[in-house]
């Protein structure tokens, strides 16, 4: 059983307990445990098998036992019991602001409300207002809540929020009296999906900021606006919260509103140990002496005796422990990326020519680029058979001649067939490299998927395992397989695992990245570009995901310079990817 399934079961128990009116501490214990499992590096199944569940923070004894049962038997009687008789749609009712477990229960028992549609109907014909403890005001608040939920409940891709967030940030920075302003929240932490955008500003004239935000042309509705906070909903439904603090509070405010909540809690706990109370306004010595002046976030961490923890590391509290131990990783930086693979062109399902992609690579300052269109099995994407691959070679040669500063490798994104064989297996000698990816039969069972991937990685042309999880954010979850077995195979054959920078993929995900690096397997951060404009996705999105997984420069194979990278691919030292007599693919196999 995958970690996320166990996490989901625990989260559901939390909600069910809440609906049943149980003790909030118990509810929270399950919520916390679910979160801990979601970001767990190891397979929970392994921990159970080795009797090491105790190593997971926040898992008390009875929770450990439940996890054990769940993992070993695949189900949990306790959860089945709790589910008994509770309609699943009540969870949605519970998520409406102002409707707690008590009210949800009353709506259910008195009015037969089982989900949002039945609740909306009950509001529309006034039955909710007539209910004891509710009233007309509550009813209209619930209706507004339902509408609001429909518009904003869904999370959005980071890429769908960044442009608006940056535009509004510029607007805030331009407002009178603003000394500093930044994007905060999940967007600053680089999370793949975002619920709402948070912006924080330091100003002594808060009203000027609020006015500017309310008056913005993209604003559809002002949800609330006061001296310290304005919330607006943009026309596309995106919610933006803008907070203003006094300049001396800025460092503490920025850390607080950057989150994550779990990181904040841990940091506050640590501050207490150091003799300070910490909140969004100030770091106050407990002995009553005046708070230190903190010019910026760095100063705040320094005052606590900690190295600076980059926002990309603040998803979980682990980084705090690492900072305390002086063991924070030195994260890979955008300028470290010297080139990319996994670039599609109009030959398969891309929009631009080989030459346009290479020109863009040159413009971005890359030293090398690997053209890799889909292979024939990806028929839906107009994948290339060997004849078309050969024909494409002419365009590749032309691009090499036109852009001598960029080394152009010519490969394919090869489909891994259901049994782990590779597409075009008889012709792979003609490729400079292959990114091997799964595009079909994504939900085959775990053992078969593991065998499939392990087999594919053994082929010497395969240098990168493309989007290993196969997830599509907000659409589908990834495949299941034994990561340890696959990573062992990757290590054995010196294959890198991709961090795919397509904003809907971000695959391997940051949780897996940590595990990949810890096992000594290299990453290859790629754009999976389908147009020249998306070639930079490797840096803008893929690299952020890698950083969130603690990746350093040494972990990422495409931080090598062109020569070393060509050697790693197994491509000879001269010419555009043509293998010279001595340049065997084994030449670069010692990179581990
Ligand atoms: P999101 O919006 O779900 O994508 O994720 P965030 O992290 O942006 O969450 P959001 O917008 O609810 O809150 C922004 C930050 O404010 C959050 O990361 C940490 C901080 N924060 C919010 N509520 C609490 C809280 O109850 N306790 C603590 N310690 N911090 C909080
Ligand atoms: Ca947020
Ligand atoms: Zn692909």
Look up the CATH number of the domain holding residue 73: 1.10.150.110
Residue 461: CATH number of its domain: 3.20.20.140
Nearest CA to ligand 1 atom 18: 259
Length of the chain (residues): 592
Are 417 and 558 part of one and the same domain? yes
Q: Would the CB of 198 count as within 6 Å of ligand 1?
A: yes
Total domains in the fold of the chain: 5
Are 43 and 143 part of one and the same domain? no
Are 180 and 233 part of one and the same domain? yes
| Within a domain: 433 | yes
Q: Would the CB of 257 count as within 6 Å of ligand 1?
A: yes
Instruction: Give me the pLDDT at residue 60, please.
Output: 87
Q: Would the CB of 197 count as within 6 Å of ligand 1?
A: no
Give the C-alpha separation, 431 to 435, whole Å. 11
Q: Would the CB of 264 count as within 6 Å of ligand 1?
A: yes
Are 72 and 141 part of one and the same domain? no
Q: How far is the CA of 256 from the centre of ligand 1 (A)?
A: 8
Of the residues 51, 83, 115, the one at which a domain ends: 83
Can you tell me which atom of ligand 1 is nearest the CA of 260? Answer: 18
Instruction: Count the neighbouring beta carbons within 10 Å of the beta carbon of residue 129.
Output: 16
pLDDT in tens, the chain (592 residues): 788 889 989 998 998 998 888 888 899 999 999 988 988 888 899 999 999 999 888 888 889 999 999 999 988 999 999 988 888 889 889 888 889 888 998 999 999 999 999 999 999 999 999 999 999 999 999 998 888 777 666 789 999 999 999 999 999 999 999 999 999 999 999 999 999 999 999 999 999 999 999 999 999 999 999 999 999 999 888 999 999 999 999 999 999 999 999 999 999 999 999 999 999 999 999 999 999 999 999 999 999 999 999 999 999 999 999 999 999 999 999 999 999 999 999 999 999 999 999 999 999 999 999 999 999 999 989 999 999 999 999 999 999 999 999 999 999 999 999 999 999 999 999 999 999 999 999 999 999 999 999 999 999 999 999 999 999 998 888 999 999 999 999 999 999 999 999 999 999 999 999 999 999 999 999 999 999 999 999 999 999 999 999 999 999 999 999 999 999 999 976 444 433 333 333 434 443 3
| Within a domain: 251 | no
Are 465 and 536 part of one and the same domain? yes
Instruction: List CB contacts of 290: < 8 A, sequence separation 6 or more.
Output: none
Are 562 and 423 part of one and the same domain? yes
Are 431 and 564 part of one and the same domain? yes
Radius of gyration of the chain from its Cα atoms, rounded to whole angstroms: 27
Are 413 and 520 part of one and the same domain? yes
| Within a domain: 163 | yes
Q: Would the CB of 265 count as within 6 Å of ligand 1?
A: yes
Containing structural domain, residue 425:
334-345+404-569
Can you tell me which atom of ligand 1 is nearest the CA of 256? Answer: 20
Are 148 and 160 part of one and the same domain? no
Q: How far is the CA of 185 from the centre of ligand 1 (A)?
A: 6
Give the C-alpha separation, 368 to 361, whole Å. 8
Q: What are phi and psi of 170, to 5 degrees?
A: -60, -40
| Within a domain: 580 | no
| Within a domain: 115 | yes
Residue 137: CATH number of its domain: 1.10.150.20
- Token look-up 């589908």 returns 476
| Within a domain: 492 | yes
- 445 token code pair: 């069972």
Residue whose C-alpha is closest to residue 525's, from 540, 511, 514, 533: 540
Of the residues 49, 83, 117, the one at which a domain ends: 83
| Within a domain: 398 | no
| Within a domain: 304 | yes
Are 223 and 117 part of one and the same domain? no
Q: Would the CB of 469 count as within 6 Å of ligand 1?
A: no
Of the residues 126, 152, 178, the one at which a domain ends: 152
């Amino acid at each position: 059983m995958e970690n996320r399934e166990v996490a989901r079961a625990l989260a559901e128990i939390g909600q069910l307990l809440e609906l049943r009116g149980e003790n909030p501490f118990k509810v929270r214990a399950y919520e916390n445990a679910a979160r801990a499992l979601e970001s767990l590096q190891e397979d929970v199944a392994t921990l159970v098998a080795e009797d090491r569940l105790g190593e997971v923070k926040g898992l008390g004894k009875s929770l450990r036992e439940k996890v054990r049962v769940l993992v070993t038997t695949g189900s949990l009687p306790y959860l089945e019991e709790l589910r008994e008789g509770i309609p699943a749609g009540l969870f949605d009712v519970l998520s409406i602001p102002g409707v707690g477990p008590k009210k949800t229960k009353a709506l259910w028992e008195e009015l037969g409300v089982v989900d949002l549609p039945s609740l909306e109907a009950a509001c529309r014909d006034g039955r909710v207002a007539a209910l004891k403890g509710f009233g007309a005001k509550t009813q209209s608040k619930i209706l507004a809540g339902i509408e609001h939920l429909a518009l904003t409940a869904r999370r959005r891709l980071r890429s769908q929020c960044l442009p608006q967030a940056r535009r509004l940030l510029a607007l805030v920075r331009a407002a009178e009296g603003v000394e500093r302003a930044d994007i905060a929240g999940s967007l600053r932490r680089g999370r793949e999906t975002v619920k709402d955008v948070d912006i924080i500003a330091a100003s002594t004239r808060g009203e000027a900021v609020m006015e500017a935000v309310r008056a913005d042309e993209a604003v559809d509705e002002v949800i609330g606006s006061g001296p310290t906070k304005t919330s607006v909903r943009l026309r596309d439904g995106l919610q933006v919260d803008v907070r203003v603090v006094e300049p001396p509070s800025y460092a503490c405010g920025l850390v607080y509103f950057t989150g994550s909540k779990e990181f904040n809690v841990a940091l506050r706990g640590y501050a207490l140990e150091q003799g300070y109370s910490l909140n969004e306004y100030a770091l106050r010595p407990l002995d009553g002496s005046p708070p230190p002046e903190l010019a910026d976030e760095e100063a705040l961490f320094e005052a606590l005796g900690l190295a600076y923890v980059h926002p990309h590391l603040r998803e979980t509290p682990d980084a705090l422990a690492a900072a305390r131990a002086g063991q924070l990783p030195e994260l890979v930086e955008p300028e470290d990326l010297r080139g990319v693979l996994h670039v599609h062109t109009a030959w398969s399902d891309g929009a631009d020519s080989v030459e346009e992609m290479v020109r863009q690579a040159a413009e971005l300052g890359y030293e090398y680029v690997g053209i890799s269109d889909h292979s024939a099995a990806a028929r839906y994407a107009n994948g290339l058979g060997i004849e078309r691959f050969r024909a494409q070679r002419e365009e590749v040669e032309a691009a090499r001649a036109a852009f001598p500063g960029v080394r152009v490798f010519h490969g394919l994104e090869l489909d891994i067939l259901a049994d782990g064989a590779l597409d075009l297996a008889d012709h792979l000698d003609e490729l400079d490299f292959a990114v091997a990816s799964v595009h079909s039969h994504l939900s085959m069972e775990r053992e078969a998927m593991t065998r499939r991937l392990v087999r594919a990685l053994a082929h010497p042309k395969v240098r990168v395992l493309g989007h290993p999880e196969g997830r599509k954010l907000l659409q589908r979850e990834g495949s299941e397989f034994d990561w340890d077995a696959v990573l062992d195979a990757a290590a054995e054959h010196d294959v890198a695992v991709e961090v795919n920078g397509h904003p809907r993929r971000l695959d391997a995900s940051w949780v897996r990245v940590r595990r990949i690096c810890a096992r000594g397997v290299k990453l290859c951060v790629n754009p999976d570009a389908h147009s020249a404009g998306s070639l930079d996705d490797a840096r803008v999105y893929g690299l952020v995901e890698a950083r969130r997984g603690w990746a350093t420069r040494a972990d990422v194979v495409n931080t090598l310079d062109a020569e070393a990278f060509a050697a790693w691919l197994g491509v000879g030292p001269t010419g555009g990817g043509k293998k010279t007599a001595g340049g065997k693919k084994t030449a670069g196999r010692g990179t581990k």
